[in-house]
A and B are shown apart, each in its own frame.
Chain A
Amino acid sequence: MAGQPAPLLAVEGLKVHFHTRDGVVRAVDGVDFQVGPGQTLGIVGESGSGKTVASLTLLRLAPPSARIVAGRVLFEGENLLLQSDKRLAQIRGRRMAMIFQNPATSLNPILSIGQQLTEILRWHTGVSRQTALDRAAGLLEMVGISDSAARLRQYPHELSGGMKQRVGIARALLCEPALLLADEPTTALDVTIQAQILDLLAELRQRLAMSMVLVTHDMGVVARMADRITVMYAGRVCETADAATIFNAPQHPYTRALLESVPRIDQSYSGARRVLPSIAGRPPDLLHAPPGCRFHDRCPEAVPECRQVMPREHLLAPGHSVSCLRRGSPGEDAP
């Protein structure tokens, strides 16, 4: 991508495996993606696709049983996978921050909102308690929580789910990070609250010129929020392109099938025979991941070669890469 600025974040060849009693689970098995300054990347996939493990690994927050087997996470010029714990602690929350799926479990139930917010700010910047409180109050206002002085004294259980998620967002933004990771930030919320939170995130990323990685299974949410989209399946990237291309001209058979199988709210199904195009079978068990392309046994276009050769991502058009032998990808072991 000539002429474009260097990416803020570049993940290269990331492999994260879990060693279990039953064998090795290849949760993330060779994943690449980039996020440019001010850009929002949507990572889409089903459960078990590796999207959450990949995003947690960016900040080395994956569970202790996860082993980072290979790859680099280049963020603002340094490989985070090689940094000391001390250095990472300086980056977490300050340059790269995270919003979690479940606001009910990601806030500490025995600390007041004010304590949780100021702790982070004081740890990172060493400002006084009062300055930190003022800043926290300002952020609560910014995420749409009125009467912030009173809210700072409240505890998580006194807030509704939507409010807690707003606090989670405020906490992530305390130090004005360059990159915000959001893992299913609205999945636990009701739809009208989801709409409010998405509006808020869209507004904040504009205002603060932030980059964002948005992990979700909801095609509607990525369509609304993402500039670029990476589709993951069974620990591998199928396809990456700008949002319009993914939705209007998807190339990977999985991307196509995924988009078609979701019923659309803007389409009438009465009168017609009600059949959604669906993907047969289910995602593979990663303990026994099939050889070759991970999608081959569910793929309508699979040829015998797909059963043996794992495709490697290649560029179809500028900014549009796909990993499929039927779209001209080379095999993984090809020179």
Chain B
Amino acid sequence: MTPLLDVRGLRKHYRVVKRGLMRGTFGRRQTGIVRAVDDVSFTLKAGQTLGLVGESGCGKTTTARSILDLVRADAGEIRLDGQDVRPILAGTDRAAMLAVRRRMQYVFQDPYLSLNPRWTINEALREPLRVHAPQHQRDWDGRIATLLETVGLEPRNGVRYPHEFSGGQRQRVGIARALAVGPDVVLLDEPVSSLDISVRSQILNLLAALQDQLGVAYVYISHDLSSVRFISTHVAVMYLGRIVEIGAVDEIFVRPRHHYTAALISAIPVPSPGAVDQRVHLRGEVPSAINRPTGCPFHPRCAAALPICREQDPALQSMGPNTQAACHNPA
């Protein structure tokens, strides 16, 4: 069966340029390349959630933004129901581009910054309906009211402005806006990170319920692995622009094969005092993406590194029916 979303070989590199006094030909000097996203591939079926995890700078947000062409990728295919939509998103046919965007929507991390403070909630939700026009204008008000109810807000509050809402309510508006055009895939970029703990669980429950109800697929980006475990069916772990391990959620959390995954999971303090410390300790910090180590990019921090790890960059390979890891010496 063709997967709903099939990302193949996605790549986004940034040139690091030093500018001298004379801009232009003389002063410019390329000093390196940041491989923000480097050959990232994954598939997603309807109703599934792929948790995209990793530390800051690993490329998870750039990956999600490239999928929607909010950041223009250098290479790769974004297949939606088997059709590569990257040329359409980057192309000049606005109607075709909008048709793709209707199917993939984005929820931003900070609901404070992603809503126009001068627009009421109704206006914020009317905008996607106006741009995409999935239905007749006379139906918009009804649609907006339904959307607000779907995300647990009172339709009569639609006349209010974002500053009158709490963070959790604003994030509900952000979710409603993404759902307005009936997408098949929603990319969620740290949707609960800026919220209070007691409000986080409300939004996570809402996302889970909406998925059960609408069959929408999520790409859920987070550094909070506990929420990833809750919401995801699959998990991809990124390190320095690469997916180093990908698989079914329980497989990844119970039996991580890549040593970085193991270290990442074991670094999370468990809310049980006196829990047995089975930590995989990591030396040092994430190296800069400009000076990526040769061989396996993780080898300088890896306790299980072999001589080959210094020389050969491991490719993702199957580690079982539901999991793949890029490691020469898997756990």
Residues of A within 8 A of B (CB): 46-47, 160, 162-163, 190-196, 198-199, 217-221, 223-224, 226, 243-244, 247, 257-259, 261-270, 274-280, 282-283, 298
Contact A192 B197, beta carbon cutoff 8 Å: no
Docked-complex contact B201 and A265, CB < 8 angstroms: no
Contact status B268-A265, CB under 8 Å? yes
Tell me whether B275 and A223 are in contact (CB under 8 A): yes
Q: Which of B24-32, B62-70, B126-134, B229-237 contacts A (4 or more CB under 8 A)?
A: B229-237
Among A223, A265, A267, A283, the one with the most B-chain Cβ atoms within 10 Å of its Cβ is A265
CB-based contact A162/B226 at 8 Å: no
B226 touches A262 (CB 8 A): yes
Q: How many residues of B contact A (CB 8 A)?
A: 47
A274-B231, A276-B230 given; A264·B201 CB < 8 A: no
**Which A residues lie within 8 Å of B268 (CB)?**
191, 220, 265
Chain A residues lying within 8 Å of B279, measured Cβ to Cβ, are: 195
B269 touches A261 (CB 8 A): no
Enumerate chain B residues within 8 angstroms of A160, measured Cβ to Cβ: 285
Assess whether B270 is in contact with A268, with CB atoms less than 8 Å apart.
Answer: no
Q: How far apart are A136's CB and chain B's nearest CB, in angstroms?
A: 22
Contact, CB under 8 Å: A283 / B201 = no
Q: List 6 A-B contacts (CB under 8 A).
A: A191-B55, A191-B267, A193-B285, A194-B267, A224-B270, A276-B230
B201 x A267 contact (CB < 8 A): no
Q: B residues near A, CB below 8 A?
A: 55-56, 166, 168, 196-202, 204-205, 208-209, 212, 223, 225-227, 229-231, 233, 248-250, 253-254, 263-275, 279, 281-282, 285-286
CB distance from A270 to the nearest CB of B (A): 6
A275-B205 contact, Cβ under 8 Å, with A46-B198, A162-B285, A261-B197: yes
Q: Which residues of B contact A163 (CB under 8 A)?
A: 285
Contact B271 A219 (CB under 8 A): yes
Across the A-B interface, the 3 shortest Cβ-Cβ residue pairs: A220-B269, A263-B230, A278-B201
CB-CB < 8 A to B263: which residues of A? Answer: 192
Contact of B271 among A259, A269, A275, A276 (CB under 8 A): A259
B233 touches A270 (CB 8 A): yes
Complex contacts, A279 vs chain B, CB 8 Å: 198, 201-202
**Of A244, A258, A274, which is within 8 A of B230 by CB?**
A274
- Whether B229 contacts A282 by the Cβ 8 Å rule is no
Indicate if the CB atoms of A267 and B56 lie closer than 8 Å.
Answer: no
Q: A199 to nearest B CB, angstroms?
A: 8
Asked if residues B201 and A262 are in contact (CB atoms below 8 Å), the reply is: yes
> Whole-angstrom distance from the CB of A192 to the nearest CB of chain B?
5
> In the assembled complex, which residues on chain A have CB atoms less than 8 Å from the CB atom of B267?
191-192, 194-195
In the complex, the answer to whether A265 meets B229 with C-beta atoms within 8 Å is yes
Also in contact, A191 and B264, with CB within 8 A (given A261-B198, A263-B201, A282-B168): yes
A270 to B48, CA, bound (A): 11
Most buried by A among B229, B264, B275: B229
State A243–B249 Cα separation when bound (angstroms).
30
